[in-house]
Amino acid sequence: MASNPHATPPTLVITGAHPQLYSQDLAPTAPEGRTWGAFSLFAMWMSDVHSVGGYTFAASLFFLGLTGWEVLISMIVGITAVYFLMNLIGRPSLKYGIPFPVAARMSFGVMGANLAAVLRGIVGIVWYGVQTYFASKAVQALAITLYPAAADYTHNDIFGLSTLGWLSFLFMWIFQLLIFLRGMESIRKFIDFCGPVVYVVMFALALWILSQTGFSSLSLQLAPPAEGSSLTHMANASMLIVAYFAALLLNFGDFSRFSRDERAMKVGNFLGLPVNFIVFAIIVVIVTAGTVQVFGEAILDPVAIVERINNPWVVILGSITFIVATMGINIVANFVSPAYDIANLFPEKINFRLGGLITSILSVLVCPWLFVSSPHAITIFVSIFGAVLGPIFGIMIADYYLVKRQQVVLEDLYTMSPEGSLYFDGGWNSRALIALAISSVFSIGLSVLGATGMIPNGGDWGWLLGAVAGGAVHYGLMRKVLGAVPVVANA
């Protein structure tokens, strides 16, 4: 192996790698390409959390029948679990310098990993469209503030959006694409800026709400009290937090591969997840609960709150901030992963940038505004897609830590030779596929039953139960067939 100085970022050349499995975008990151320190990861998580979509999801937890204090505690428990899980999934990619689609080859086989990548890619495409739609609402508010006559173009309907809505959506679509096409190093610099900037407006908004209401709003309930034990409903809310991060709980390796070392990864994750998310949660609780007293109704959309203040400068500053923040999460969570996932399908023909272009085009075709048409739509969507991705997470974790015991032959990730340890049956690990099928039926079933009200809040636990089931079945099958013998390390 040798460094390839012409790759961006620098990668390792794998001698004899099969062209169906190898490209500069999928190759292991070289030591000189590991430029992400703790701050970059911290800023990445700020970009992921500080978005209109993230705010709206967090605010929607109030409609589970919990008080402000109970929502806050639920968020703290959920995000702490996410921190430990994120470190687990990030370690293989950190060690070998590989993105998620390549890491999935360890458990699913060099060809079977395509299935896991496609499933993750679909989620990223849909969620990218949703976040772009949320940001476009801020663009629309900004346009009307700067040019009031633009409001005349909001009264028609073209496939669910007004004329101004479509123009705002397409503006966000193009702007994000231009940033993405500049590559990963430019993305890192952009999110270093995006992450912190939204705190300026969110802190100001929280202080303004407190000046109007004091701390009394924290005891408010925005929905009828939930039946049964409050602890049970708080546990359900915590699991929804985990499900919200289900997508990045798979592909965090797309970023940890660029981390300087494990300490930088853990420190960045700790600051960006528990610490940052708790601060953000406090702001969400204060602002959402306070809107009831200030405006007479619960407002879940921070852009709508800013508009209600009726100060054009506040609207302009708030709208620009939310636009930048949402661009940050879209690039982090919903552009990078599908771009790698699509490139992984055809490395010879599709590179990272082309994969991102395909992602952006598909995100328009799914009409994302349909997913957020009701107050409960986001929580239902989060719980269901979490149930789909949970089993994949469980299989990958069980395989890396229990079956392979953190030891993999790096070259075998890129070979189609039948002698390769990850070739399995024609490139597919049938045991991993069986585990995925069994656990997915189980977890998706729980989510569907919970979403339709046939079982109380059962869908909230879909991700966790699916991950545990997937990992347990996979480990059982692999141990029975292979004796759980680890492959020899060569990294």
pLDDT of residue 401: 96
Q: What is the pLDDT along the chain (491 residues), one digit of tens a residue?
A: 544 443 467 889 898 899 999 998 899 999 998 999 999 899 888 877 776 667 777 777 766 777 777 878 888 899 999 999 999 999 999 999 999 999 999 999 999 999 999 888 888 888 888 888 888 888 888 899 889 999 999 999 888 889 999 999 999 888 888 877 776 677 777 777 776 777 777 788 888 888 887 766 555 555 566 666 778 878 888 888 888 888 889 999 999 999 999 999 999 999 999 998 888 877 877 787 788 778 877 776 777 777 777 778 777 777 777 777 777 777 777 888 888 899 888 888 888 888 888 988 888 887 778 767 665 666 666 666 667 889 999 999 999 999 999 999 999 999 999 999 999 999 999 999 999 999 998 888 877 776 666 766 555 677 888 999 999 999 999 987 664 444 444 44
Q: How far apart, in whole angstroms, are the C-alpha atoms of residue 47 and residue 194? A: 6
HEC secondary structure over 248-311: HHHHCHHHHCCECCHHHHHHHHHHHHHHHHHHHHHHHHHHHHHHHHHHCCCCCCHHHHHHHCCC
Q: How far apart, in whole angstroms, are the C-alpha atoms of residue 352 and residue 29? A: 14
Q: How far apart, in whole angstroms, are the C-alpha atoms of residue 63 and residue 55? A: 14
Structure tokens at 311: 């100060």
Given the structure tokens 């700790």, which residue do they identify? Answer: 270
What structural domains does the chain harbor? 31-373 (1.10.4160.10)
Given the structure tokens 């407006």, which residue do they identify? Answer: 201
pLDDT of residue 252: 94
pLDDT of residue 485: 43
pLDDT of residue 335: 81
SS3 4: strand
Q: How far apart, in whole angstroms, are the C-alpha atoms of residue 116 and residue 338? A: 11
pLDDT of residue 187: 75
Q: How far apart, in whole angstroms, are the C-alpha atoms of residue 380 and residue 339? A: 26
Q: Is the pTM of this model over 0.85?
A: no
pLDDT of residue 92: 96
Q: How far apart, in whole angstroms, are the C-alpha atoms of residue 286 and residue 476? A: 47
CA distances 410 to 56, 85, 98, 246, Å, are 42, 23, 10, 26
Query: Within 61-111, where are the H helices?
Result: 68-96, 100-103, 105-108
**Which stretch of DSSP H or E encloses residue 13?**
strand 11-13
Q: Which of 272, 212, 276, 223 is nearest to 248 (CA)?
A: 272
